[in-house]
Amino acid sequence: MNASIEAVWRIESATLIARLTRLVGDVGVAEDLAQDAFVTAMEKWPRSGIPDNPGAWLMTAAKRRAIDHLRRARRLDRKHEELGHALTELEQTPPDLDTALDDSIGDDVLRLMFIACHPVLSAEARVALTLRLLGGLTTEEIARAFLVPVPTIAQRIVRAKRTLAEARVPFELPRGGELTSRLDGVLEVVYLVFNEGYSATSGQDWTRPTLCDEALRLGRILAGLMPDEPEVHGLVALMELQASRLRARVTSSGEPILLADQDRARWDRLLIHRGLASLDRAIHPGSGLGNYGLQAAIAGCHARASSIEETDWTRIAALYDGLAQIAPSPVIELNRAVAYAQAFGPAAGLEILEPLRSDPALRSYHLLPAVRADFLTRLGRREEARTELEVAAGLTSNEKERNLLEERASRLGG
């Protein structure tokens, strides 16, 4: 039962926190109220059962606490008229609060996204806070996504909430030029939320499709708000093309299936079609594709191929070369090594990979030894490959992925 309740929380927390932020005007208070409602659910639902509409139940429970909070605040300082207005609005709100606003301007979750990405925060704090508030991720999961210590992420989140409260950031979407200037941070956060759904960093599930769905929804809302921004379409294209593989990435029991072994007949052709159409809109006039557009073009190469062997790996390697120029990072280099290994042989991939072994950012990144193991296996260096797979298995926090890596190691003997 607890696992089911936690799953409900993952699905409902972002909308719950967003609506509460609109009502109380403080993301930190909103999250506390949402957490209180969740604790109440953990106490009551095992006895009564999960309600038919858990989101509405949680909102009703949080609403009662919000009313108490606003009344206390109003008594403490009756000069704060906005608290009285908020209390009046809250008390007059119908109890059926589970229907989200579909209009892009009125979407509370999107407003929460722009608050979490407000320029008053550092870039790192924006991403961490959004993953916490909108992705429902734990501090540990966020730390793993950033490859930084857990206390660092915890401090970022606490300081971010305090900074937003002190700055009295309004719960509204930016307008005009400010909306454009703040877009890059929002795009980064949306894609990180998507990635956590596409390849869960920890836990028992290989994927979390609900997070992918939420990121896609936010990305499409952004595309509707800013139809002339190529990078918005590039991000949407990338997410749609990657999401097209979700059904083929796991077995019926949830075990992971790697790209080379996936049944491509299970790839979602509608999402591929939509992704390729979004990719066409992602071209910058006079400058070609940007960061997300290049990544989407790589995903498009996979989507167009009927098998791993028929994939245009030379094209993918060239796209990664371009990506490394405009958005260099150790992870991009790791992926570039994979493309080179497929296009030009494992020795070429290994050559790109070797300098990354001393990169501090990848020291605890399980995919580095996992990829190196693949190259070594193809070169006939099975014992070294087995050792790398064992290292990778020890680094991952995802149970399904650990099992897969251990199984691969066992097949190499020793």
d(CA 314, CA 297): 13
According to the model, what pLDDT value does residue 98 have? 38
Is 233 in contact with 223 (CB distance < 8 Å)?
A: yes
Q: What is the pLDDT of residue 106?
A: 42
The answer to whether the beta carbons of residues 185 and 123 sit under 8 Å apart is yes
Give the 3-state secondary structure of residue 254. coil
Strands 397-398 and 283-284: unpaired
Angle of helix 330-344 relative to helix 367-378, nearest 10 degrees, comes to 20
| CB neighbour list of residue 317: distance below 8 Å, 6 or more residues apart | 336, 339, 340, 342, 343, 344
Both tokens assigned to 52: 């038919």
For position 86, what pLDDT does the model report?
53
φ and ψ at residue 131, rounded to 5 degrees? -65, -35
Is there a contact between 339 and 320 (Cβ–Cβ < 8 Å)?
A: yes
CA distance 53 to 95: 12
So what's the pLDDT on residue 77? 54
Q: What is the mean pLDDT of each run of 10 residues along the chain (414 residues)?
A: 75 85 85 86 85 86 79 58 52 42 52 88 85 81 75 94 91 78 84 85 77 86 85 97 95 89 96 97 86 96 95 97 94 96 96 94 93 96 95 91 93 79
Return all residues near 178 (Cβ < 8 A) that are at least 6 apart. none
- Cross-strand pairs, 288: 284
What pLDDT, on a 0 to 100 scale, did the predictor assign at position 157? 95
Residue 14 confidence (pLDDT): 82
CA 330, distance to chain mean position in Å, is: 19
Residues 6+ apart with CB under 8 A from 264: 248, 306, 307
Q: Determine the length of the chain.
A: 414
Give the H or E element holding residue 289. strand 288-289
Q: What is the pLDDT of residue 85?
A: 56
Position 147 scores a pLDDT of 61
pLDDT of amino acid 136 = 76
What Cα–Cα distance (Å) separates residue 162 from each residue in 21, 113, 121, 328? 14, 17, 10, 32
Spatial CA neighbour of 174 closest among 115, 224, 130: 115
Rounded Cα gap, residues 262 and 93, in angstroms = 48
Contact 122, 1 (CB under 8 A): no
335 CB-contact burial (10 Å; exposed 0-12 / middle 13-18 / buried 19+): buried
Q: Can you say how many angstroms the Cα of residue 244 is from the centroid of all Cα atoms in its chain?
A: 16
